[in-house]
Structure 1
Amino acid sequence: MNRGLGQIKDKLDIFALFKKSRMQIRERWLYAVLGGIVFFGSLFIFDGWSGLALTISSVATVMIMLLIVLMGKVLYRDAFLTIVCFGILFCLLTPVLDTPDETAHLARAMYLARGKIFVSQEDSQLLISEDYELIYDQSQKTLFENDLNVHDSGILMIESDGLKATNAYAFISYLPQALGIGFGRMVNLSVLWSYYLGRIFNLLFYATMIALAIKITPLFKQVFFIAGTIPMGIYIAASYNQDAFGIGIIFVTLAFYFRLLSKEDHQIKVLEIVGYTGLCMLITVTKFPFVLLVLLPAFIPFRKFDKAAYQCVFLGIILAAGFSLAWMNFYTAIPHPFVPEGVNMIKQLQFLVGDPIANMQMMGLNLLEGSINYLMLFNFGWLSYGSNGLGLLYLFFYGSVAVFYPRELRQSRLTRIGALLITVGIYVGITLSMYLTWTPVGSSVVNGVQGRYFIGFLPLIPLMLNIGPAFKQLDQLQVKHYYNIVTLVPVYFLIMSFTLTLKQYY
């Protein structure tokens, strides 16, 4: 009898699951169809209406429509699925070594896969697998054009000076990629699939970090979703670029900060400040200018800390500053091998202090005009193709969400001002570092600044600018519509960005 009851219960569970799935499809099928229309409409607009692109699009459209139907349950899972879905598409369909700086990052991942943690100062020790030459020879060839699948992983080593270009980043930034390569070699995959496994492992780490950030932050969850699924972020994560690690850790750190910010009076403890400081020190070895995030807790109202925790904030700032100086001294010991002609940090500093008023004016103009670099977030490949129109539309969308995001917690003026100062400080730090290390002495224009460098502080923008109504002022239907908008519009931007790659190569 118990067996019979169990069978009936199983049937009821299956029926309930089927009913729930049918309701989910009924609620979201229109959004999925709209996604398909956006896909083929974008192909038409960007002139990607060719045979192979159309075939790939048909498969990708089914995949994306299924994603849209499955979304809408738990936000951090939605983020993970979205990043993995589009990341896999970018990973497989972006040609070999056709993302920014992927040549150097691949070399460092291969170097780490050999167990080499630090970049050696001796060229004879900078050895990586001979597979690198096979991959490099197939640069900018698509999955359907390259011949890497016929090659087994080699055992010989070759010298790679390009490794020196990655010395500013700690080995930990390359662990996911190196694990992918190592696993591929361990199970005797071809050079092709070992290469793609490195990309996929990097993508999975990024997706996990963004999902974790959304899960642990009590504030601005939808903003984290939008910023974490920005097309350039996923595109970079689907390559060997260490920015995926850096952005992922920054988002988790900001989520941790928002968790501190939402605490009640006297609830912030010493261990939480120690953990936050540790995360900021980790950021130092991946995205150096973002170490300024260590200052954020100093702008949380004093009443939220217990006495010892507030003192630890300033001890943490001192510790992070010392660690940053030590790291800078360490990584500058090996000069970058591809520095443009005329670049000299010492002489550039002498130039800046030689006429401080005129040079402050020059830097101010560069900081103002540098905001146009945001549009580079929609330039793909080695920044060789893209759409400024999509960039402008995304700017309008993200700005609207950041400003009018429904208020969850009234922030103090001190907290808002602190977020503004630190964001500006990071922006200035990135620009100034590129002027000192990548721009010829005496130039009036800063070289090398790219839009992806600023993805990390996107979640801070609503903290500074948010003037929206409180969530409790919205009814349940309004909240539901808002949720649909802020989760589906980013997916549609990803669709349009992906069609740019199809148009470019297929």
Structure 2
Amino acid sequence: MKELMKIKFNDLVKNLLSSYKYWIVYLILILIAMFSMFNIENYIHPKFELIILLLVSIISIFSIVYYYKHGKHELYKLTFILLLLFGLICAFTVPIDSVSDEYEHFTRAEITSRGILFPEYVDGNYESISSLTNFYLPSHDKTVFQVGEDTQKINTSISYHDSAFEQNPFYGYIFSAIGIGIAKLLDLNVIWMLWLGRIFNVIMYAGLVSLAIKKTPIFKIQLFAISCLPVCLFQAFSLSIDSFIAGLGIFAVAYFFKMSVNKFDRKDIIVFSVLCLLIGLCKLPYLALIFLILFLPKDNFKENKYYFYCILSIVLVSIIGLLWNNLIATPALYHSWRNTYFIQNNVNVSNQINYILLHPYDFIIEFLHLFNSIPYIFGGFFTFYSYTIEGGQYVASAFISFLLTLFVAFISIYPDNTKINLKSRIGTLIVFIIIYVGTFIVQLLSWSPVGQLTLQGALPRYFLVLFALLPFIFSNYIANYKNQELDRYTFVLVLFFISSMLISFAVKYY
């Protein structure tokens, strides 16, 4: 046993020395990032910040050594472990309800944890438990060190909540509900409902992303990089349904990548269609992902009749998705504080559509300004929600946000030895634009006062799944391209960005 341990230790030292330039680059970058975020209070009391720095550095260095040795073949395993470890740190350190709408997502997950798949809206309220109103509601944006009630036991007596994301399908909350259910079953302190709910979402997201990277035969490092964007992980490591949408969306994109380079049959068409439907029921514009199957190479169809199945899938997914949205999701949207907002701000979908039809030129002019939103979206890569009375965002670091913008642009044109035909690239770009524009149109119809045609309000996290399509559209094809050096430095940059996100939370909140 001692000899075996000695051999493994020697291997570790050897790999550390062999990969030294990569983890030294990481350490230099993370120190620069930390200094770019520190203020005078952080320099005076740097204890927690240094603890987080030490933790993320240890995880990252060992990950760099492992990736250096095993490369992309083991990337899916490493991705799961990385997201799990970073997610655990995030789940415990991100303050209570500091993620956008987390309290409302929490309410829905708690209701789901009791086996109620379709919340009942009675007299303007949903039935939940008292711990949410007694502990979580007053604890917005506070850490566990700033509240004294976190050691209380869970109070399961009935309380009432005016909002619970009834419009979202229940399956998006199953994992967080399991975590909350375990906390109640074990009679843990009240804070564990939040922590275990977040942790189970972390497990779900890490599992879906690692499975996506394993499944795809192409663009593995690119998919890993996009999946680990801080603006996405901030949501994925919370109780938000965005964790499910992003994870399943990345998996759907990976499945599309697989079908684009391999032969596929009826089962693959069914699986991809179900994935698109499940995502589209959560976020309507993503129903358009189903159109990607129109642009798969014809040579990949095992039989010509499968093209008919693709058309049938598009029709069925579209009909089911639109029926769900019109008959279930939209009416449920009014079962919340949103109804009061809509009345006070004159928000009405039908009236807004009528206004657009009566003022087509105004709408076209505004539509042509749509892509002015791109800088805002890219500029939000290192921007996170922080609770205030009015709600709001904070930019953790403009410097890192700028670097992330360059990084995503780089990932989009990343060199690859996979040749994607022009038809598939153009078709995917069309679907990309449909979803991009559709997201803004939904915001315009659902949130803007009648007569206000400004296309705005779409946040960067809404487009994570779209970012995953960018390498397929724009990647730089180079025959027989194999550059491990570039892959390794890309891996280092991903770790740098995730680590910077966790340090930014320590800087702001601790």
Structures share a fold, TM > 0.5?
yes
State the Cα distance separating 1:58 from its structure 2 match.
2.5
> Which residue among 288, 305, 308 is the counterpart of 1:311?
308
Query: In the alignment, is residue 452 of structure 1 matched against residue 476 of structure 2?
Result: no
Matching residue's letter, 1:450? L
Q: Does 2:161 match 1:160?
A: yes
Q: Give the Cα–Cα distance (whole angstroms) in 2 for the partners of residues 175 and 48 of structure 1.
A: 40
- 2:27/2:57 contact within 8 Å kept: yes
AA aligned opposite 1:331: A
State the partner residue of 1:285. Answer: 281
Structure 1 stretch 89-98 or stretch 104-113: which is displaced more? 89-98
Instruction: For structure 2, list consecutive stretches of 5 or more residues without a partner in the other structure.
Output: 387-391
Determine helix, strand or coil for the equivalent of 1:158: strand
Deviation at 1:79, TM superposition (A): 1.9
1:393 matches 2:389: no
Q: Retained in 2: the 8 A contact 1:283–1:291?
A: yes
Shift of 1:463: 1.3
Q: CA contact under 8 A between 2:281 and 2:287: conserved in structure 1?
A: no
AA of the residue aligned to 1:346: S
The answer for the alignment partner of 1:407 in structure 2 is 416
- Distance in 2 (alpha carbons) for counterparts of 1:44 and 1:389: 11
Amino acid at match of 1:274: I
Q: Which whole-Å deviations, capped at 9, do the CAs of 1:443-502 have from their partners, x for residues lacking one?
A: 1423431110001111211111122423x244xxxx221121111101112222333222
1:17, CA displacement in angstroms?
A: 2.6
Stretches of structure 1 lacking an aligned partner (at least 5 in a row) = 1-9
Matched residue of 2:478: which SS?
coil
Letter in 1 for 2:271: G
TM-score in terms of structure 2 length: 0.90
Q: CA deviation at 1:216?
A: 0.6
Q: Within the alignment, does 1:39 sit opposite 2:30 as a pair?
A: yes
Structure 1 residue 157: deviation in Å?
1.0
Q: Is the 8 A contact 2:103 2:136 kept in 1?
A: no
Counterpart of 1:350 in structure 2 is 354
Given the alignment of the two structures, is residue 140 of structure 1 paired with residue 141 of structure 2, yes or no?
A: yes
Match of 1:3 in 2: none
Partner of 1:324: 321
SS of 2:323's partner is helix
Compute the displacement of 1:430 (Å).
0.4
Alignment of structure 1 residues 93-172 onto 2, 5 Å: 93-123=93-123, 126-133=126-133, 134-163=135-164, 166-172=165-171
Distance 1:491 1:53 in 2: 25
State how far apart, in whole Å, the 1-side matches of 2:306 and 2:410 are: 36
* Matched length: 486
User: How far apart, in 2, do the equivalents of 1:20 and 1:418 lie?
Assistant: 48
Q: Distance in 2 between matches of 1:421 and 1:389?
A: 32
What is the RMSD of the two structures over their aligned residues, measured on CA atoms?
2.0
**Which amino acid letter does the alignment assign opposite residue 325 of structure 1?**
L
Displacement of 1:172 in angstroms is: 0.7
Give the whole-Å Cα distance in 1 for the aligned partners of 2:496 and 2:292.
33
- The farther-off stretch of 122-131 and 391-400 is 122-131
SS in 1 for 2:249: helix
Aligned to 2:216: 217
Shift of 1:53: 6.0
SS in 2 for 1:118: coil
Secondary structure of 1:144's aligned partner: helix
Measured in 2, the distance between the counterparts of 1:148 and 1:199 equals 19
Does structure 1 residue 377 correspond to structure 2 residue 376?
A: no
Quick check: 1:67–1:81 contact (8 Å CA) kept in 2?
A: no
Helix, strand or coil for the counterpart of 1:189?
A: coil
Change (3 A) 1:468 1:55: farther
In 1, Cα distance between the equivalents of 2:45 and 2:369? 42
Q: Does 1:58 align with 2:56?
A: no
TM-score by length of 1: 0.91
Q: Name the SS of the counterpart of 1:333 in structure 2.
A: helix
**1-side partners of 2:418 and 2:504: how far apart?**
39
